[in-house]
Copies of this chain bind each other. A is one copy, B any other.
Amino acid sequence: MTSPFSGTATGRAGDRAARKPQLAVVGATGAVGSVLLGILSERADIWGEIRLVSSARSAGRKLTVRGEEVEVLALAEEVFGGIDVAVFDVPDEVAAQWAPIAAAKGAVVVDNSAAFRLDPDVPLVVPEVNAHAARVRPRGIVANPNCTTLSMIVALGALHAEYGLSELIVSSYQAVSGAGRDGVDTLRSQLAAVSGTELGTTPGDVRRAMGDTLGPFPAPVALNVVPWAGSLQEDGWSSEELKVRNESRKILGLPGLRVSATCVRVPVITTHSLTVHARFENEVTVAGAHEILASAPGVVVCDDPAQGEFPTPADVVGTDPTWVGRVRRALDDPRALELFVCGDNLRKGAALNAAQIAEVVAAELTA
């Protein structure tokens, strides 16, 4: 039998089960993995077996997906037997080692790490923008973009298709869950330490109160904003800022796009926000932008300041779309739009987009 769906590692053999693609979730116990299991349970169920995989440390735990308890397997070559699509949410170095192994076993890997995003033989895919790119995958790997890029790119892809994007100047307001569970725990404990105090009014008082509880951040994040995310790269740029530039260019197919990003962490649990100054080849109007965005899949326009309507992380968290508000045309440049954009960094920013890519690949495999 040559169909990729004919063999199942668990021996399920009914006609229907045999036709359904098999999915592996690698990193199932992490922050993004947990959200992914919830998303897989909510969306149309196209999958045969969903196999859960983690590091040896977490293996043996039971997690619920599609209403059923599933035991988590330890990462090993054998777990990819019979798997058609494997979604990876693991650290870069683990992905770099294991994604090629899974691909060699015949799985199409959807990888959420940074390990392959800029590899010219790996497509970087946002289904609403460049689903077609997922079909060409010389290494058997499709990369899922960085969460900050994902928080804006669906809206920008729609505007680009109409107006032709030429420059992006972006500032982020990034949630702590972008730094994983440790980021969330750190903010919660710091908030407990500042609650009921008068901290935040004299130099360094918050930093002294935090002591050694900075967690994954280089400065206190409660009652503060921290202009740093990721690691230091050349010329003072952070890795997060360069990801926004490089990944936006690749997803939009605009290798010469001018991009400047400044990434800043804020005391929000989940949902990244960004201010975007987007310059286009053609003149823009607010009414035109509203129309484009309102009809774009995966985008919600929330833009009526007179009624207090604009997206905020507290309202957007837990939802799937990219929310866009504060749409204005630059007063000094008829080709530039100002936007405020929010997206749940664990859903569209990570797990949801990975699930969507997996579905695109599955549809192709079963077509």
Contact = CB atoms under 8 A, between A and B. Distances in A.
Interface of A: 167, 169, 171, 173, 191-192, 194-196, 199-207, 218-220, 223-228, 232, 235-238, 245, 258-260, 262, 264, 266-270, 273, 275, 277, 286, 303, 305-306, 308, 310-319, 325-333, 336, 338, 340
A326 B236 contact: yes
A173 B262 contact: no
A169 B314 contact: no
B236 A328 contact: yes
A224 B325 contact: no
Give the 5 A-B residue pairs with the shortest CB-CB distance, closest first.
A200-B269, A195-B195, A258-B332, A171-B171, A206-B314
Nearest to A199: B269
Contacts of A264: 173, 273, 275, 340
How many copies the complex holds: the figure is: 2
Nearest to A257: B332
Nearest to A196: B192
A223 B267 contact: yes
Contacts of A218: 308
A169 B268 contact: no
B314 A219 contact: yes
Given A236-B326, A264-B275, A273-B227, A331 B171 contact: no
Nearest to A316: B203
Contacts of A286: 235-236
Contact of A207 (B277, B315, B332): B315
Contact of A204 (B219, B315, B325): B315
Looking at A227, A311, A333, the one whose CB has the most chain B CB atoms below 10 A away is A227
A264 B327 CA distance: 14
Nearest to A260: B330
B331 A268 contact: no
A200 B219 CA distance: 21
A201 B275 CA distance: 22
A314 B258 contact: no
Contacts of A313: 200, 223-225
B226 A312 contact: yes
Nearest to A262: B275
Given A173-B173, A235-B286, A326 B262 contact: yes
B195 A191 contact: yes
Contacts of A332: 167, 258-260
Given A192-B196, A200-B269, A200-B314, A260 B225 contact: no
A268 B224 CA distance: 5
